[in-house]
Amino acid sequence: MKKIYALLLLIITLQVSHLSAQDLADLDTYEKSMKPGAELSYDVTANGKQFKMVVTLKKVGAEVAFDWKTTDPDNKSGSVTMSANAVATAKAFSNIFKGGATSLESETSLWASKQLCTEIVANAQASVKVKGASDTATVLGNTMGLFNLNLNGNGVSLSGYELQGGSPVYTIDIIESPKFPLIYKLDIGWTMVLTDIKI
């Protein structure tokens, strides 16, 4: 009987080790893909309508910039530029895609700031202005999760933060990458979920 338990323990250990190695490989592939020209596809559900939003990265680093466009029935397009200050310290999200050019100094869009990620790791929660800099801050608790998407036609699983809280309940899922903390899922009365990354 002890041999059976030892064998089961060995099998479980090997499987966990394999999963950890696979997650690291997926994270490495993801981070190498996050460069200018990469296209991110989100499924959006808003006002009873479903459509795609395609985001094309233009700049990543201290500052982040992207172009975006939506499919029928929305058919809008625009661009977003986040300053170095926003990428470093913002604790507010801009999630309004009306069209045209947007420059963000104290908010981020589809991205979590370094300061916000640091707070999540340190406290297992964060105080966030979900609907823009003028919004009242909401405390969102964090649990860890695995997020699945297609990366250049291959399925990957990426670890991330699952933030939830407020009334009604808000959900913001963020990929756990110090370099590229991208929003994977947003549910704030309307939803968007990242499905594909292509380079």
pLDDT in tens, the chain (199 residues): 554 444 334 333 334 433 344 478 999 999 999 999 999 999 999 989 999 999 999 999 999 999 999 997 778 999 999 999 999 999 999 998 989 999 999 999 999 999 999 999 999 999 999 999 999 999 999 999 999 999 999 999 999 999 999 999 999 999 999 999 999 999 999 999 999 999 9
What 3-state class would DSSP assign to 70? strand
Question: From CA 123, how far away is CA 8, in angstroms rounded?
Answer: 35
- Quote the strand ranges of 14-137, DSSP E: 39-46, 49-59, 64-70, 77-82, 100-104, 125-128
**pTM for the complete prediction?**
0.87
* Domain residue extents for the chain: 2-198
pLDDT for residue 101: 97
Percent of the chain with pLDDT over 70: 89
Q: How many CB atoms lie within 10 A of CB 103?
A: 11
Q: What kind and span of H or E run contains 156?
A: strand 154-165
- Residue 36 has a pLDDT of 98
Q: Buried b vs exposed e over 73-86: b needs ≥16 C-beta within 10 Å?
A: ebeeeebbbbbeeb
